[in-house]
Structure 1
Amino acid sequence: MFESVSKTTILAAGTGADLPTVKDFLPPEILFQGTPFAINRIILIRIVATVILLSVLALTASHAKLVPGRWQSMIEMGIGFIRDGVVYSVMGELRGKRYVSMIVALFFTILVFNLCGIIPGANMAATATVAMPLAFAAWTLVQYCWAGIREKGAWGFIRDECFTPGVPWPVYFLLAPIQLLELIIVRPASLTIRLFANMVSGHLTLATCLAFAQYWVFEASNKLTGVPVGAMWLVGGLIMTLFEIFVAFLQAYVFAILTTAYINLSYPEE
């Protein structure tokens, strides 16, 4: 049975199933074409998601009560989870208070942007192009450098980052550029690629399942085999939707905890 399904799947790919491609992540401009303010679909998704997120948080804050209701309790629980479970657990309360607002903002923004991939009408994660994850990673790098400079001074920060104590000085000619490359390229790239690649692969997998489901149910010439095969692909799409919700949360959490750990590394330890 599985062999026949795989054969028919390959047949579908060659006879008209509208499969997703990387071009889906570079949609044409829909507003202000030809200007520096041009907006395509994914930028519009980011704008709408940001407005909704800020509006929800502003309304929740404006109607906050001493005895919270269900919605306020849920928001406070989410903030408390990041504050206590991520920031304070990595940095400690004394040091972490400075960064709670930043890490909470990163987590909720990335989570909402990720969930756009399974929201009808959006159908694409706002983090599914490299620009947005790179912007978050750049923010992390700036905070890392600023924390180190504030605690150690500019030269102390550069010395600790590029010149590892206890290493023979001739080795610094090789080691210092590597350390500098890790600071300004490797760490931001690791944050960027992890988030970006997961969102892209998830979108492609989910869209492929739904494209095959649509093809076999509505376009296949043999309805006797097409409907059952399409139903199998639809079930796969539903499973992938649930998995994408899990991945959306997981990637937001991973980004938040890695950002916290990176910033914490910039502090001098006794």
Structure 2
Amino acid sequence: MAAADGPPQPGPGSFLLPPTFTIGGWEVNKPELFLVLSLVIVFAFAYATSRKAQVVPGRLQFAGELVYGFIRNSIARDNIGSADYMKYVPYLFTVFLFVLVNNFYGVIPVIQFPSMSKFGFPVALALVTWLIYNVAGIGRHGFFGYLKHQTVPAGAKGPILIALVPLEFLSNIIVRPFTLALRLFATMFAGHLLILLFSLGAAYLVTGYANAAIGIPAGVLSFVLGIGVSFLDMLIMFLQAYVFTLLTAMYIGSAIADEH
């Protein structure tokens, strides 16, 4: 958004995209289309890298095994435990690729919009994680055993439990999905907003600033800084996919851990 006769002013309104088309009164916009596209991309990658598996992997199979091995060994096994981790690897593998693809939409030309900058998407994904680790914990400890496991710290006794139990319940059961979603949303939102600020600012300074002797060099500098921010944002996009997957594995591991 831009003020009249002034520089562009990107903000929350920049994320309110008009509908691309309407189906039965349901307005479908670009982020929703990107979300569906990411499902196709993740499935295609997993299928293409595994359908002709060989003892000596080719390049495509090697890429798939590299990602799968990273998720299985460095995230699932290390945080869930060697006895139970394999059953959760498919979900962790899928969620890592899904978040990664949707994040990297933000630096793909023409698309240039990270899906996870729409708050509803990371919330829905975090709720799926919340459901998985709670169901896993209840399955391991039973309903009341799981509540005790999550709300009563090891070794805590006496009146202090009156304060600790509600806090632990709030922290471990209620707040986790929202902090998980908020972390992913906030970084994607802020990164995209910065790229918008530098790119729109560069265009305004070069083409619309009254003093060309100042506007053109400043616009070029803004454009170069925007490129630098884009590369930094790419690193953050990967890290946020990793962190989301890592925390998911940690939550599952803590939910099914044996009593101490």
Structures share fold, TM-score greater than 0.5: yes
Aligned match of 1:198 in 177, 187, 196? 187
Query: Which aligned pairs between 1:88-167 and structure 2 lie closer than 5 A?
Result: 88-164=77-153, 167=156
Amino acid at match of 2:31: I
Superimposed CA distance per residue, residues 78-119 of structure 1 (whole angstroms, 9 cap, x where no aligned partner): 111111111112223322111111111111111111001111
User: Do the aligned residues in 1 keep the contact of 2:80 with 2:254 (CA within 8 Å)?
Assistant: no
CA distance in 1 between partners of 2:183 and 2:217 (Å): 36
Aligned partner of 2:10 in structure 1 is: 20
Q: 1:93 aligns to what SS in structure 2?
A: coil
Aligned match of 2:63 in 50, 53, 74? 74
Q: 2:116 aligns to what SS in structure 1?
A: coil
CA distance in 2 between partners of 1:63 and 1:237 (Å): 41
CA distance in 2 between partners of 1:187 and 1:76 (Å): 31
More deviation in 234-243 or 26-35? 26-35
User: Do the aligned residues in 2 keep the contact of 1:206 with 1:240 (CA within 8 Å)?
Assistant: yes
TM-score relative to the length of structure 1: 0.87
- The structural deviation recorded for 1:249 is 0.5
- The structural deviation recorded for 1:214 is 0.9
Aligned partner of 2:244 in structure 1 is: 255
Aligned partner of 1:52 in structure 2 is: 41
User: Do the aligned residues in 1 keep the contact of 2:180 with 2:244 (CA within 8 Å)?
Assistant: yes
CA distance in 1 between partners of 2:15 and 2:100 (Å): 19
- The structural deviation recorded for 1:74 is 1.6
Aligned partner of 2:232 in structure 1 is: 243
- The structural deviation recorded for 1:72 is 2.0
User: Do the aligned residues in 2 keep the contact of 1:114 with 1:248 (CA within 8 Å)?
Assistant: yes
Q: Unaligned stretches of 5+ in structure 1?
A: 1-11
- The structural deviation recorded for 1:42 is 1.5
TM-score relative to the length of structure 2: 0.90
More deviation in 25-34 or 148-157? 25-34
C-alpha change, 1:57 and 1:197, in structure 2 (3 Å) is: same
**How many percent identity over aligned positions?**
33
Are 1:32 and 2:9 an aligned pair?
A: no
- The structural deviation recorded for 1:49 is 2.3
Q: How many residues align?
A: 258
CA distance in 1 between partners of 2:34 and 2:152 (Å): 44
C-alpha change, 1:227 and 1:263, in structure 2 (3 Å) is: same
Q: Unaligned stretches of 5+ in structure 2?
A: none
Amino acid at match of 2:135: W
- The structural deviation recorded for 1:161 is 2.3
CA distance in 2 between partners of 1:233 and 1:192 (Å): 31
CA distance in 1 between partners of 2:211 and 2:54 (Å): 60
Amino acid at match of 1:58: Y
Aligned partner of 2:166 in structure 1 is: 177
Q: What's the RMSD between the two structures over aligned residues?
A: 2.2
Amino acid at match of 1:72: Q
Aligned partner of 2:32 in structure 1 is: 43
More deviation in 241-250 or 210-219? 210-219
C-alpha change, 1:192 and 1:227, in structure 2 (3 Å) is: same
Amino acid at match of 1:19: Q
